[in-house]
Structure 1
């Protein structure tokens, strides 16, 4: 009976995470049912995710979309590029006078089949999710580029960092790869890490990760920089 109860809780956790409810939010809800801490919920959810079987499909087209801004004489041009991630070849590479949403849509529709499943990697331009969703609808898997994410994180720290800032920076960089990794610096294990303030851009990334399904280490709290 107890096993059935906890299995039901695990299904409940998965459903709430699917709807982007944070671990803290789930813990608050569980206080009304059967109190569960944030870390307990995290461990249960992660264990269930490790046991999930993800169906493999050879039909998913994996592509990278990128933009560059070359000049033709004195005229600013915009180079839109699609790369095949598996074949490592260029699908399309064209110059345009602008990079408006309509231009991007026409470029994607011309070079990709919107009726087939597609996995697209882009940078963090805020326009992309709506553009891609409009074209590919439920056939879309949209992934942000980790290289661009790393740049955003690194650029939010000063060049001459303290050991605490450096530790925080590498924790931010590592959480998007392996949630079980722990950064260990043997000679500094006794240092008590205070609560840090980090720049607003990284704070948004961390908040997005917490709400959107990425894994965060609960031992750290993140706050926006006070100007």
Structure 2
């Protein structure tokens, strides 16, 4: 089976927009669930709802893949699973290294979804000498001193950084120097990389902060709605507060 170092997906050369590429995994996840239930075909509306997008956007995305479905029938689920997997490069074997085997790194190592999605955890790496040799998810942890040799021996082009923020950039630099060209960063810091290296950042605290913003906004809207429900209309000529033109505001506080 081919390794990630010698084969890369052709999405960019085919002119597929990055926004479409970002949605392909959502479609694949929904299609995989349908396939596991032995559903043979699916309409664009059903698949769009399952993926959390609108059907017009889905049809536009699929047009970049050359897949248009069949009128009155929909899309062939198994073919779409294959087509999207091939476009994402998931029909190949992508060896991955995880650097930083703390609680998060260990949880990632134990994640069972890698193998079924075209990824193989080739090595676990940590700077703590006490971790060396200890098995995590059945894989012995190796020391960071051997990082470059591990990358070369396994033909790794994808690295996962799960270290503390202070160590992340140094680890990133070593991964890039060793030939890694794609990095998934879980460290709470922004990494600087040269052209030709792709970085995807996953920051759980930022996602929670965004959710907190939406919760605060909803609470504010609810409070405003409750305040509005308790208001009573004013009558012109009352001695209440007047607006800038001398008119009494249409609604006065209760």
- Band the TM-score falls in, shorter-chain normalisation: 0.3 to 0.5
TM-score w.r.t. the length of structure 2 is: 0.30
Q: Which has the larger radius of gyration?
A: 2
TM-score w.r.t. the length of structure 1 is: 0.32
